[in-house]
Amino acid sequence: MKKKLVAAMCAATMVFAMGTMALAEEEVKATGEEKIALITMDSIDQHWISLNEGAQKAAEEFGVTVDFMSPNTKDDAQQIECVNNAVAGGYDAILVAANGPDAISSALQEAADGGVKIVYVDSPANVEASATFSTDNKAAGQTAGEEMLKVLDEAGVTSGKIGIINVNAATDSCVNREEGFRAAFEGTDFELMETQYGEGDAAKSQSIAENYITQGVVGIFGCNEGSTTGAGNAIKASGNDTIVGVGFDKSDAILNLIEDGYLHATMAQNPDVMGYEGVKAAIRAINGEDLGGEVTDTGVSVLTKEEK
């Protein structure tokens, strides 16, 4: 049978549509002089590349400058340096996805004190911002857990060990995903093992997943792109496709692992929407509008495989 990937839209996507309606109706007026720095956790993951594509689309549409100034790896010190460079470069606003919200907050506060507008995309820090565009990560994490439980139940598996691979213990978005995932298993007979951290690196995450597999897990959850890719590659290498792999983000590698049956599903965010709407908000904030710190859920889709 031919198999295809299908997107099952979650209720969160409906929340996004309603949450951004007010912003979409507001006319965005740019002078063309606005300079916006986009600083994500790294410049490698397809998630961040897609976010930048959305930001650049808005930049072209509204005639403003958006420079992608992200580090090449998930590193707090490098991200802080990017923020400082944006301030020194005279940027009017910073769109930022905080790797470590505590670590970067001091640099962002200094930027804000100097008049730079802050807009969060994907993952906030601890400094007041004009607006935030992100996934409801706790709800999406719970959806991931429920998806795994459904598949295990269909296979007649009602207990067993579940491995969890996260980026680190600080990144707000991923911490919330894990919290939601764990909540889905409350009251079940499954054992959620101690979280292991792979720093978002696919190779490190694969090693962690391989260790989980030697301990007899029935499922593995990856909290971001690298974690999910690593989990899928480990399941593939083990030859045991009964292990249920569920993760986050949409990349070619992840989609191929789903297509080949080594991952069951991924929670696909809308980073392009985060980037596009983030730039619009930054333009409005630069030009004196008070956005009230509104937080907008940009939605999530469950990507899985379906028999046809």
- The total of structural domains in the chain comes to 2
The CB density around residue 144, as the number of other CB atoms within 10 Å, is 27
Residues of the chain above pLDDT 90, percent: 88
pLDDT reported for residue 85? 98
What mean pLDDT is predicted for residues 171-181?
Answer: 95
**Contacts with 154 (C-beta within 8 Å, 6 or more apart), sequence order:** none
Does 66 lie in the same domain as 124?
yes
Show the tokens assigned to 195: 């979280």
H or E segment at 111? helix 101-113
What is the maximum span of the chain, computed from C-alpha positions, in angstroms? 61
Query: What is the pLDDT confidence band of residue 26, given thresholds at 50, 70 and 90?
Result: low
Instruction: For residue 236, tell me if it sits in a domain.
Output: yes
Amino acid at 120: Y
Domain range for 215 is: 137-269
Instruction: For residue 1, tell me if it sits in a domain.
Output: no
SS3 (DSSP) at 231:
helix
Does 142 lie in the same domain as 65?
no
Does 180 lie in the same domain as 260?
yes
pLDDT reported for residue 101? 93
Does 185 lie in the same domain as 110?
no
> Is residue 145 scored above 70 in pLDDT?
yes
What mean pLDDT is predicted for residues 180-202?
Answer: 97
pTM over 0.85: no
Instruction: For residue 303, tell me if it sits in a domain.
Output: no
Does 130 lie in the same domain as 81?
yes
Instruction: For residue 85, tell me if it sits in a domain.
Output: yes
Instruction: For residue 308, tell me if it sits in a domain.
Output: no
On the 0-12 / 13-18 / 19+ scale of CB atoms within 10 A, 35 is: middle
Domain harbouring 287, CATH code: 3.40.50.2300
- As a whole number of angstroms, the distance between CA 305 and CA 308 comes to 9
Query: What is the pLDDT confidence band of residue 306, given thresholds at 50, 70 and 90?
Result: confident
Does 100 lie in the same domain as 179?
no
Does 122 lie in the same domain as 33?
yes
